[in-house]
Structure 1
Amino acid sequence: VYQTRRSGSAPQWVYDNTIKNATTAKLLDGGNGFSDAYGGIPFPIPQNGVEALWNHIARYRGTYIVRRASEVAVQRNGSYSLVTSQQEALFKFYNPKGTAADLNNIMFYYLSFTKSPARLAGGAVLVHETLDQVKEPRQAWGYNAGQRRVRRAPNLAYDTPIAAADGLRTADDTDMINGSPDRYDWKLIGKKEIYIPYNSYKVTSPEVKYKDLLQVGHLNPAFTRNELHRVWVVEGTLKSGSRHIYSKRTLFLDEDSWQAAVVDQYDGRGELWRVSIAYLKNYYDLPTTWSALDSFHDLQARRYHVQNLDNEEPSTIDFSQAVPDDGYFKPAALRRRGTR
């Protein structure tokens, strides 16, 4: 535990847009999307839980990013195998040269190519994340290198298990929580102070090797850093008649960045089952506050999954590349790029 340092920050144009959004943004039918906001936090003064949730989903993380990172499922005995991929994301909602009229209902594009191990290499996933998820749900496609075929992936949402995570992460666990909020009733509990990972620079230092970071049961505390911060607390309860492996989710959103720092997930019996943790740090070259890496702990199985490891990768996250056009993220481009 360290002294609190509120290092969270964003570009001035993001703050300016956030001020505008405060008086214009509105939820769409059922809270499954929002409109009349662009380039900033949509609901900086949230009136309910679903507005606070959208603040996390639509928070600032740059415009276009490219990174190579690994993920691992750490078993009870501490063993693990790396799965490495190249990831690219274009956050259309945060293109300073664009406007809300340019979005065409797309919040961001996400593209991931698996690099290793050999049995998975060449596979790819493409996601078009929509802003109005009632009008148009998320669209996703997968590329199978062995079959050289691109197929729709309509189930890449909600509690679909992610293969590379060995069942420890669902599709909507990624990024702490993502996708349509429609299966839960969301309640804004209020603010409180808790200890959360912050200014977590050591966990992704190239001087720290994976074998030293990944311990049995949890990350090595010698490299983690926790501070006392104010967070918004949001509670999601599974709606009657809806299906999901989590009966309840409690989100703890960093007040400064709206990034979910910790998420508690409960099983069908109401028992705490899984805990997701984002190790936040400031990316000063933008600037923005985002996670250095994310961990997903199954308290009952005593295993955990870690995503976005880059300590031993030849390069780290890159925010400086030129923003591609929308055609770069079309399904037709998946096969062509997957064969490289």
Structure 2
Amino acid sequence: MSSLEKLTVDKRTLKRIIRELKKWKAPATVLLSLYIPPGRPISDVASLLRTEYSITDNIKLKRTRDAVQRALSSAMDRLSRMQKVPPNGLVLFCGEDMETHDFICLMFSPPEPVPVFFYRTDKWFHTEFLEEMVEHEETFGLVIVERDQATIGLLKGSRIQVLEELEGYVPGKHHKGGQSQRRFDRQIEQFVKGFYKEVAEAMNKHFLPLIEKNALKAIIVGGPGYAKQDFLEEAKEFLDYRIRQKIASELIDVAYQGPAGLRELSIKASDIIAKNKYAELVKAIEEFKRHLVRDDGLAVYGDKMVRQALEMGALKFIILDEDREDAEALAEEAKKYGTEVYFLSDGVPEAEWIKKTFKGLVGVLRFKIA
């Protein structure tokens, strides 16, 4: 294993690191956070840190100055051992507890690419970019549609991705009246329907592979005025039935297209997303309880039973306490077998019961096993 590979942490380890870093607080801006994205030259970053160190003499309070210099020196020392930035980038956290004089300096490569270059000394460590990586990312399709424009995207965890932007041709208003007006109106409607068909086919192209992987939770449709309702009515013959089943019943008014529109749609859809997650978890728990009461052999619990069923490809879904040590690995393993994973939420009344009685791991089988 290369030195770069040894630096990389998995998501489970990253969760523990984040929990530890969040405990650190300081009365002054002495805790250093540094995010280096892939491809950034180490020499450039080292030069920045040297410049920052050179201006620390301007810090009036000696305790604060000493703490900042210690953090910068440690970060520079760690970087000096690196020849290049790992494929996923590099993250450093260095700083001192000014009350106890305890010191921490961590350098590692996260499980996903570092999205931004970021340097700051603050009263806390900035872990927000890492927290996005350990969210249990549920994927929602996003569609903004009007008569001659559309944007298709994904909301994955807290990240938005534009998949495709489409533009159609719809002629402007006609003012001649009579039969000519009616004929022109029919032509306009044909142009609109043709564009709606194009949008529907793009949705099939982008979303069906995710549905087949059981990776798409729902599709949220937005747009101005009545365009979104018109689209769903006119395009239903072109949308795959699996796409239609995933479309949320509540449509959302959105004023913009492109990335700005997708951001607006995702913000306004937050209640739909939260309700969807909660409702799915509650439904799964009710199904587990029903099979448990019936004693029909389809409810499973405990590490041995669940893992055995998983390896046989017999598990329909598992309900999992995300604080278990093996939560991340178990969730990844379940996905390989097409098993749905529901993470326990403390807002669900049965959460504590599942954690205490079944050690935070239960499931329901697709079929009985001996």
Fold agreement, TM-score > 0.5: no
Structure (1 or 2) with the greater helix fraction: 2
Larger radius of gyration: 2
Larger relative contact order (Cα-Cα within 8 Å, sequence gap ≥ 6): 1
TM-score, normalization: structure 1? 0.20
